[in-house]
Every structure is written in structure tokens, then in C-alpha cells.
Amino acid sequence: MQLPVVWFFIIRIYPSRGRNGRHSGRSMSRNIEWNIDESLQQSLRAERFPRIEDTNTATSKGASVQREANVPESGSQYKIVSDVISELTSPVILHSVNLGYSDMLFNLLYSLQRIAFRPKTPSILVICAEKSCYHKMSDPPDDLTIDYIVVLTDLGESNKSAAGYKVPEFNVLVRKKPVYVQTLLKEDLDVLFVDSDIVLLDDPFPHFRGKGDIFVQQGYKRGVHNSGFFFMSSSPRTLHFTSVWNNSPGREGDQQNFNIAAKKLKKKIKITVLPTQRFMNGNVFQARMDNLDNATWYALDPKPIEVHANVIHGHDTKRQLLQKYDLWFAPPDE
């Protein structure tokens, strides 16, 4: 007689402790060791990065991002992510930027400085695409007092300071994003990724509660996710998502691949789209402002938590939009 197969899983709840015994600040609901998919956990432990080798380089032709040999090493004059992991606590606000958009990122940091985060301001990590950007971001204006950590990419420097949307240089730059995110997730750090052409006007973290592995901004139309603003909690599911994201075959930068991964894993991961009235992409924001006869953002009701100048192409056009609606918080000459 053949006995029936019984499937079971074990959940072990334990207090959340960060490095050096410090509390990680995350809710108890995330402090769970899942034994549901042991094969996935074993594969994630076995590989430091998916399909990333030490001697290959990133491309814009749909291949996954891979590590170069000629990159900064830990202990050099330029810090890389591995040098600062112990300084980070969860959650981490993550930015990646090149020199051409450093003024935009300074403006974003000024917007963060205005927010009363509770219980405290999160860790902020800035990954620079080239050494010139590293030096620029390491020397902030005197009145920018918010704490943030600057590192240099270890995935190869960019060769153009302000590449246009979807051109090859831009695609190479943004396709590194899933590797940056996965690096932090593997350290048990939750991640809020924020593009440089964004301003934050209020604390977004209360909106990342409830059921969901990923909370993401709506893209240019309904049903499309915007990979410029999303929150991921650290778990085997999000680690697997970043692997699929990095290895997806799309050729139009990271956003296409983010959406490919979301469709492929739709039955295995919970993705929540943030409300557009509070988390505004460029289309929604411009339409709302047009209805208000081009008043400033203060006239919006409800007040936005985040405004993203996506869909507006070109650095100067983005900056002019933010300035027009009183969303430029950096000094005028920055």
C-alpha cells in the first residue's frame, strides 16, 4: 500500500537583530525564517550573485549585468558597497547616479532633509557611476546636513556623464540596478530604491505595510511598473525576483526587465502598485497641475508623497519642471 505524501513547512519566529546585535527596526512579520522552498534557499546561499563573473562586463544588449576585473577593491581610496555594509541599518534608501544627474540627486537629498521620518531617518546609500560623481557627491553644500553614504560602483564605471533615456549608455547604467538591490537584500536589508529625478515630500514608509513583497510606482500607463521607485523587503522571494530581473532578456534598460520578471513570477510574489494620487509619475503630476492652472504642488489635494519627473525626457526639461512647481529644494546654482 502506497502511503500519501504529506507536505508541510515550519515557521520559526525570532527577534530581529541587526549587525553587532542592534535591532533592525523591521516589523515582526518580516522576522520569519521560511522553510517552504528549501531548494531556493540553498541556491541563494550558494551563489553570491546570479550569473556575475569576475572578468566580464555589463552590456546594453540584454545580457545580465556582470562584474569587471578592473574595478575598485575594498580598502582602496574609493569606498564600495562591501566597505560600508556594516554601517547600514534597515531600511536603506538607495540611489544610483552619474555626474550628469548629481544636481538632481542633491535636490532629492534636500527633499529628504525636509521630512520628519519616524522613528528616525533611514540609512541613505548613494552609488556613483564614476569617480567624478563620487567626488561631487562627497562634497555636499554646507546646508545639506542629512547623513548619507557615498560609494563607487564595483560594476564598472560609466563612460558618459548624462546619457539620454534608452540610449546604450543609459541602458548599461540602469541595468546595474538589480545587482545593487540584491546586494543589500542578501544582507537582510530592506530597500527603497529612488531615482534621482524624484522628490519625496513626506515619509513613504507607512505605505509599505501590509501584504506585499514589493511596493512599486505605476509606470506610464496602468499595468506597467516603474522601476525608478520601489520598496522591497528582504526575503527569499525578493532575492529570487532580483535574480530573474537581472537575467531577463529585455534590451530597453532595467524597467522592461522588471516587468518581465513581474509577469514571470506573478504567482510567486506579491507586488502592490502604489496609489497614483499620492505617488505621482510624470504623466499624473502634469495632468493634475494642468487642472490647477499651473499652481504649485502645495495646491494638490491630497498632497503627494512622491513626485517622479519620469516621462519628461532630458535633464534640463526635468529640472525646469521641478523648478516651475516649487519642487526644486537645492540651491539655484546647484
Buried b (16+ CB within 10 A) or exposed e, 303-329: ebbbbbbbbbeebeebbebbeebebbb
Q: Is 212 helix (H, G, I), strand (E, B) or coil?
A: coil
Give the per-residue SS3 of 215-270: EEEECCCCCCEEEEEEEECCCHHHHHHHHHHHHCCCCCHHHHHHHHHHHHCCCCCC
- C-alpha cell read off for 157: 564605471
Q: Which residue has the higher pLDDT, 20 or 126?
A: 126
Say if residue 63 is exposed, middle or buried (CB neighbours under 10 Å; 0-12, 13-18, 19+): middle
pLDDT in tens, 158-189: 765 555 555 555 556 677 999 999 999 999 99
In this predicted structure, the answer to whether residue 39 has a pLDDT above a threshold of 50 is no
Q: Which residue has the higher pLDDT, 183 or 62?
A: 183
CA-CA distance, 56 to 58, in Å (whole number)?
A: 7
> Residue 294: what pLDDT?
64
pLDDT > 70 fraction of the chain, expressed in percent and rounded: 72
pLDDT > 90 fraction of the chain, expressed in percent and rounded: 61
H helices of 11-160, in order, are: 38-46, 81-84, 102-113, 131-137
In this predicted structure, the answer to whether residue 72 has a pLDDT above a threshold of 60 is yes
Q: Which amino acid is at 155?
A: L
Q: Which residue has the higher pLDDT, 221 or 36?
A: 221
Say if residue 84 is exposed, middle or buried (CB neighbours under 10 Å; 0-12, 13-18, 19+): middle
Q: Which residue has the higher pLDDT, 322 or 7?
A: 322
Q: Which residue has the higher pLDDT, 226 or 60?
A: 226
In this predicted structure, the answer to whether residue 36 has a pLDDT above a threshold of 60 is no
What does pTM read for this prediction?
0.79
Asked if 218 and 281 count as a contact pair (C-beta separation under 8 A), the reply is yes
In this predicted structure, the answer to whether residue 84 has a pLDDT above a threshold of 80 is yes
- What is the residue-averaged pLDDT of the chain? 80
In this predicted structure, the answer to whether residue 127 has a pLDDT above a threshold of 60 is yes
> Residue 244: what pLDDT?
96
What pLDDT band is residue 40 in, cutting at 50, 70 and 90? very low
What pLDDT band is residue 2 in, cutting at 50, 70 and 90? low
> Residue 58: what pLDDT?
40
> Residue 63: what pLDDT?
45
| Residue range 16-20: mean pLDDT, rounded | 36
Q: Which residue has the higher pLDDT, 61 or 68?
A: 68
